[in-house]
Amino acid sequence: MKKKSIAVGLLAVFMLAPAAASARDVSDVGHTVRGALELQRSGRQAAPTRPMLSDVADRTYERYLESFTYPIPEQFERDDAFAADAGS
């Protein structure tokens, strides 16, 4: 009987917890999210831009262009090592 009363008590706590949240708690979350989104939009706390060295930029661009030399396959073959049921 004691276990049942504990379970009922816990159930009541979990069911009443959302009702206990005040409107202020909800608005605080919204305010925080809006503030974070505004910082992201404005870029005020963004990291400074860093230039890419020319040799790195050249190699990156060459690799990008090289990626177009291979045809896109109609279908990808699944490697057995990465199959979903490989560990079973």
- Distance in angstroms (rounded) separating the CA atoms of residues 65 and 27: 49
Tell me the per-residue pLDDT of 17-61, one tens digit each, with 9 for 90 and over.
555 555 555 567 888 888 989 988 898 888 888 888 999 999 999
The domain ranges of the chain are 1-41
Measure CA 78 to chain center: 26
Whether pTM exceeds 0.85? no
Contact 39, 32 (CB under 8 A): no
Query: What is the structure's pLDDT at 32?
Result: 87
- Distance in angstroms (rounded) separating the CA atoms of residues 85 and 43: 45
Query: What is the structure's pLDDT at 52?
Result: 86
- Distance in angstroms (rounded) separating the CA atoms of residues 60 and 45: 28
- Distance in angstroms (rounded) separating the CA atoms of residues 24 and 27: 5
